[in-house]
Structure 1
Amino acid sequence: MKIAETVEQTIDCIYWLSPYRWVDHHLKGRESEHRPGTPEQQRWRQRRLRLSERYICYWLVAAVLLYLLHPYLVPLGLWLMVPLLLRVFGILNKELGVALFNRCKITDGPRVAATGRTIVLALINYLTALFLLAACYGLQGAAAFQDTPVYAVNGVELWPLIQAAKLHFTLGEAFTPVSAAGWLLTLFHSGFCFLFGTLVISLFVSLLNVSSENA
């Protein structure tokens, strides 16, 4: 088996772990019952598109709330961090499927439809990952990092958001980890940002319609 096929199948298997994938698969089955281009088929297609947008936007709202409430969720610790990190990994997995293999998306075939929509949703996913990782830093605790500030706004610590934003936009940590757990989370975060940024750039390039002047 070719390595590319193995990676593609792995990405698809991981995508099936998302509850959204199961719901979309059901809607896709209903859509396939109608001929392409008919009003009924377009109606089911629009339902799938709305579901995708709502799922992504609701995750952004949930991520912001988790960050704001993380001081009260510290007792959950690792139990809460695991699903949050799985969601971050799921975001990267989906973008890998779209950019590399034209999988994990609603539109069939190699063409990526609705350029503006695709890029906007990708950026929302990137912002969602920012707040999810900020919540993870907060759940891990300031003891895992060096020289974290003590200031807060309305009882919400700001250092986790500063750490997450610094890594998200510069690939450099604001506060140096002093524990193995802190380093693992920081390296996971920087790896996510590097790969996601590379994928978004490749997505931009793939959507360009380049032609010669003599054509």
Structure 2
Amino acid sequence: MNAPSYSPEQAALEGRAFEAVVIGASAGGVAALLEILPGLPADAPLPIVVVVHMMPNRPSHLAEVFAQRMAMAVVEAQDKQPLEAGTVYFAPSGYHLSVESERCFSLSCEPPHLFSRPAIDFVMASAADVYGPALVGVLLTGANHDGAAGLAAIGEAGGLTVVQDPGEAQVGVMPREAIRQRAPDLILPLRDIRHLLAALETTLEKR
């Protein structure tokens, strides 16, 4: 009898359970997110936290844009707000977003990190401390090195690390730097990242 055939993303999920997803993106990120987030079910059993670099001193309308396209609840993250399953949280403009040990958000006005506030590294590293191996980190297209260290922290904590294929990314600088700093578990095109997120839902529902 032939052994069952597993895709790389299926093999990476085998025997694992996850409690949260953190996604980071910069240049080209909105288009990439529109390929991977819509279609997830309203009752998704984990929170998804998204940080996208944006122009300073301008309000973000990302939560509104994605709320019109998703079955999941979509909100802008608030200070002290608990993370809840079935919800996508977008980092607000002008603040660094972190995850606290009580599994709630904190917002801070520390100086920009790699010219960015919110910074992907802040939320990824803090979430890695809280969730450890139960965290999935996804880094998408972008034009600077923010997110590479944060994704490495997720990997060092035992979490699953995923990088968009740099050859497919609108801007490959960010994914290439993440790969350079620490080899991720998976390097995938957007269609397979979308499949991975759908498989996370199935994996958790069958726990």
Query: TM-score, normalization: structure 2?
Result: 0.24
Which has the larger share of strand?
Answer: 2
Higher Rg of the two aligned structures: 1
Which structure has the higher relative contact order (CA within 8 Å, separation 6+)? Answer: 2
Q: What TM-score do the two structures reach when normalised by structure 1? A: 0.23
